[in-house]
Structure 1
Amino acid sequence: MFTSVNSRAASAYKRVSADTGVTTADPHQLVGMLFDGLIQSLNAARGAMERGEIEAKGMAVGKAVRILEEGLKGGLNMAQGGDLAKNLSGLYSYAVQRLTLANLRNDRALVTEVIGLIEPLADSWKQIRSTAAAAPATGQGA
């Protein structure tokens, strides 16, 4: 089966766009991108479960677990992060356990539970940027 030229071009554009976004993003934006990718993967896993697409479900759950383990949890600074980093690490580990069980049992409710845990965190992360941008500058003037 062949894909159309338009489909291949769109796919290439998405890869270049994603690569450029990652290359030009600051650390705050990178974490935001991880949260976006995680939520997208969780929704894809839930949809695949609903459609009975086992392979797609496994791939989406696997991607979500990698984002949690290698991206979000791996990026925590445990030495400087104190209780917050420890609590986030525990939350990410719990989410991985629930997703593993969801994959094993084909349980959409467990994926929904993880989405319910991650979405408020992702929203809060995005608000940090907008709150910091809205705060008046407190620097020393000349």
Structure 2
Amino acid sequence: MYTMRAMNMIVLVSSTLFLASCATDGGMPGPGAAGGTVGPAGASAATGDLLQACLSRIPKDASPGQRMVAEESCKAEAINRGGIATATSARAAAGTAGDTLQACLDRIPKDASPGQRMVAEESCKRDEANRQAINLTR
């Protein structure tokens, strides 16, 4: 019984990973991936080509929300495959020692409700206090 359940789980996980890799990778390594390099002069051109190719795959009948998510995914994919550093990719991750109060506040969505904004601001202030306490102990 447990062996059959484990085998079914392995098949399910393997299938999901395979489908996800096919959907996102396209089976072809892009510039900046292992085996290819992109210099500073060709980085923006290569990134622009990747971005345009990705954006062209967004269905015309996609809802505004779907389009927004797809566009953001395309931008991230172009940056990652293009091998270029941007202001957003050079930032410290949220909640890490390199994070700042201002960066945390800047991540709060503009369309957040007043209650959501208040909770997010308090969370940022708490995180900053924790970072300050850690820095004092060093």
Is the TM-score greater than 0.5? no
For CA contacts below 8 A with separation 6 or more, give which structure has more relative contact order.
1
Q: TM-score if structure 2 supplies the norm length?
A: 0.31
Rg: which structure is higher? 2
Higher percent of residues as helix = 1
Q: TM-score if structure 1 supplies the norm length?
A: 0.30
